[in-house]
Amino acid sequence: MPSQYVPFAAVVGLAFGWVVERTASLVGVILAHALLAVGLILVWPRVLG
């Protein structure tokens, strides 16, 4: 994993943890993680060429 992704992953992980603490539910975080993964792996490489 390139080092540029480490701060991004840390911030997203902290945000996901905060959401779970506030809502006491994993459902939203699971959906957000899935959409983020699809976007980063499938969509952005095609958009950026």
Provide the whole-model pTM.
Answer: 0.72
Write out pLDDT tens, residues 26-48.
Answer: 999 999 999 988 988 888 888 88
Tokens of 38: 């699809």
| pLDDT value of residue 48 | 82
pLDDT > 90 fraction of the chain, expressed in percent and rounded? 59
Residue 11 zone, left/alpha/beta (φ > 0; ψ -120 to 50; rest): alpha
pLDDT in tens, 4-23: 889 988 999 999 999 999 99
The vertex-1 CA angle with 10 and 4, nearest 5°, equals 55
